[in-house]
Amino acid sequence: MKPINNLFWYLFSILVVSITVAIYAVILWVNTYAFVFTLLASYIINILTALIIFSQKRHSSAKLSWMLFVIIVPLIGHVLYFSLGQKYPHRRDYLVVQSEMDNDTEIIDEQHSFATKEEVTFNHLSIYNKTAILNGEIKTYEMPNDYFNDLFLAIEEAKNEVWLVSYWVESGHLFDELAFLLLKKQKQGVNIRWLVDDYGRRNVKNHQWNELKKQGINVVFIGKLKFTFFLSSNLYRNHRKFILIDSKILFNGGSNIADQYVSLNPGYGIYRDFNYRIKGSYVYNYIKLFVQMWRRWADQDLTTNFNIKKLVVKSKLEATEKQNNLILSQGGPEIDDPVLEETIVKLISRAETEIKIMSPYFSLPNNIISALKVALLSGVKVTLYFPGFSRQKLVSNISLFELNVLLRYGMTAYLSNNYFNHSKAGVFDNKIAYLGTMNFDIRSFYAQYETIDIIQGETVTDIVKYMQKVESESKKLTTINTARSFSWPKKIFYAMLKSIV
């Protein structure tokens, strides 16, 4: 099977080169002057395009991908780059964005003035993310069914408001039950606001959305698509998915509103996802985030009466052994600095013994690859938990290609069997962890709105136990493929698509 696979990639490469040569040959046959002009014009356009690509402030993997497109597939590559390859048009400097936001700077400074040596990393992350460290009691869910059962029960008991942020919403049993509950609560006087990604909402009929709006539910679509996908801004999506109930309870994790996430769609097999619920003062950070998102996408300012000082004092008094210290880290295409990537690099660089990562996708920017290599060569054990089953074969193959690079440096990888593991989590020295919506891939780090909750406390142990359970059910990758086992056409093709898929 492998020789046939390699033969396909060689034939594909020959086909691409042949088509390119044929185009130039036809031009030469028609008119010599036209051929010289075309050759010269192509050369000048390539130089100008290369200068534009390299002058942009973006990660090197994206620059390499687009350069390969432009060189290997001329004309088509140029059209794709200038239509789909442009940076998000509303991107701004991170420091400017932070200066315009309420960042609780006074509280952050006060919290860190008495930090012990063991708290340095956590405090550094708080300062960098401009987010106060707050307490929260976390309940985790290994199965999405249990997560949605508790979520729907909490919505049923809501008294004041239910605020939702979603990425992928699809017609089916799960959507029908959620819509029924939201309409029921709206009729009882509960305020419902729902932010949904405009791409992710396409699997629900327009008349269904219109009916929700007609019944009084405030639905706003994030990043409306224009001209299908022939604008680069259409590739930047909201991947956040959290629900706030009565400003007291937060539900978060990787599961979308679609039947396959509760294993009701036979074509997708069995899904697992590590979701969670948070109660306590930490919920304030998500209230603030939702208010910012609603202002950005609904153009409405939601007034809040929350006082961060009172929350911090109260959280100190209520702290118990079941509480966790938490920091919110968020990223998105509007921010010019890769906040999530740099947060992860910080966590990797501070690890002393062990790093565990769980992600359904694995396609890394060079900074994180370098950080992981340094950790591995320094004796830090790095383990990745990755799905052994996926319907997205191309994305999975690119992930395995990336994984192969780090396997050669000593990373350990486990592939889950008989189910698709959609969980997103990381643990560092069994002391600090994160949960959230962020995949360990370039799109999450650069092109999507994401959140992770950085955790210090009892929940870290729960995450470690879940990873141990997944490990016991998984197959360890024992054969390390050398770089030579990947044909050069496949390497080039994966490098081209790495930053896009």
| Span 96-108, pLDDT tens digits | 545 555 556 555 5
**For the residues of 178-222, what is the DSSP string, one character each?**
HHHHHHHHHHTT-EEEEEEETTTTTBS-HHHHHHHHHTT-EEEEE
Share of the chain above pLDDT 70, in %: 70
Find, among 240, 208, 247, 194, the residue nearest to 453 by Cα: 240
d(CA 233, CA 250): 29
141: enclosing H helix or E strand: strand 134-141
Rounded mean pLDDT, 213-229: 84
Find, among 141, 164, 175, 140, the residue nearest to 260 by Cα: 175
User: Measuring CA to CA, how many Å separate 313 from each of 6, 134, 281?
Assistant: 63, 10, 10
CB 375 within 8 A of CB 348: yes
What pLDDT is recorded for position 250?
98
What pLDDT is recorded for position 355?
98
- For 325, the 3-state DSSP assignment is strand
**For the residues of 352-366, what is the DSSP string, one character each?**
SSEEEEE-S-EE--H
The domains of the chain are located at 2-84, 133-325, 339-497
Residue type, 351: A
- Of the given ranges (146-160, 263-277, 308-322, 459-473), which has the lowest mean pLDDT? 308-322
Taken as a whole, the chain contains a residue count of 501
Residue type, 278: I
Assess whether pLDDT exceeds 80 at residue 303.
no
Highest-confidence segment of 108-112, 281-285, 380-384, 406-410 = 380-384
Domain 339-497 carries which CATH code? 3.30.870.10
Looking at the chain, the number of H-run helices and the number of E-run strands are: 18, 20
Q: What is the CA radius of gyration of the chain?
A: 24
Cβ-based neighbour number of residue 229 at 10 Å: 12
CB 87 within 8 A of CB 232: yes
Q: Predicted confidence band at 121 (pLDDT cuts at 50, 70, 90)?
A: confident
d(CA 123, CA 330): 16
Residue type, 20: T
What pLDDT is recorded for position 94?
43
391: enclosing H helix or E strand: none
d(CA 198, CA 221): 5
What pLDDT is recorded for position 194?
98
Contacts of 404 (CB under 8 A, 6+ apart): 480, 481, 483, 486
Q: What b/e string do you get for 67-95 counting C-beta neighbours within 10 Å, with b at 16 or more? A: bbbbebbbeebbebbeebbebbeebeebe
Q: Predicted confidence band at 28 (pLDDT cuts at 50, 70, 90)?
A: low
Residue type, 461: T
Assess whether pLDDT exceeds 70 at residue 126.
yes
Equal CATH topology for 133-325 and 339-497: yes
Looking at the DSSP bridge assignments, the partners of residue 191 are 161
CB 167 within 8 A of CB 354: no
d(CA 9, CA 17): 12
d(CA 269, CA 265): 7
Cβ-based neighbour number of residue 311 at 10 Å: 21
Note the helical H segments in 238-365. Answer: 283-298, 308-318, 339-350
CA 493 to chain centre: 23
- For 257, the 3-state DSSP assignment is strand
Q: What is the DSSP letter of 87?
A: P
Assess whether pLDDT exceeds 90 at residue 258.
yes
Give the torsion through C-alpha atoms of 25, 27, 28, 34, to 10 deg. Answer: -150
Rounded mean pLDDT, 20-36: 71
Share of the chain above pLDDT 90, in %: 51
| 431-457: pLDDT as tens digits | 999 999 999 998 899 889 999 999 999
Region of 325 on the Ramachandran plot (φ > 0 left; ψ -120 to 50 alpha; else beta): beta
What pLDDT is recorded for position 460?
96
Output the CA angle 119-120-122, nearest 5 degrees. Answer: 70
Highest-confidence segment of 92-101, 294-303, 472-481 = 294-303
Give residue for tokens 């593991």: 421
CB 474 within 8 A of CB 414: yes
Domain 133-325 carries which CATH code? 3.30.870.10
Rounded mean pLDDT, 454-470: 96
Q: Predicted confidence band at 321 (pLDDT cuts at 50, 70, 90)?
A: very low
State pTM to two decimals: 0.81
Note the helical H segments in 73-172. Answer: 76-84, 94-99, 105-112, 120-129, 144-156
Cβ-based neighbour number of residue 305 at 10 Å: 5
Assess whether pLDDT exceeds 90 at residue 267.
no
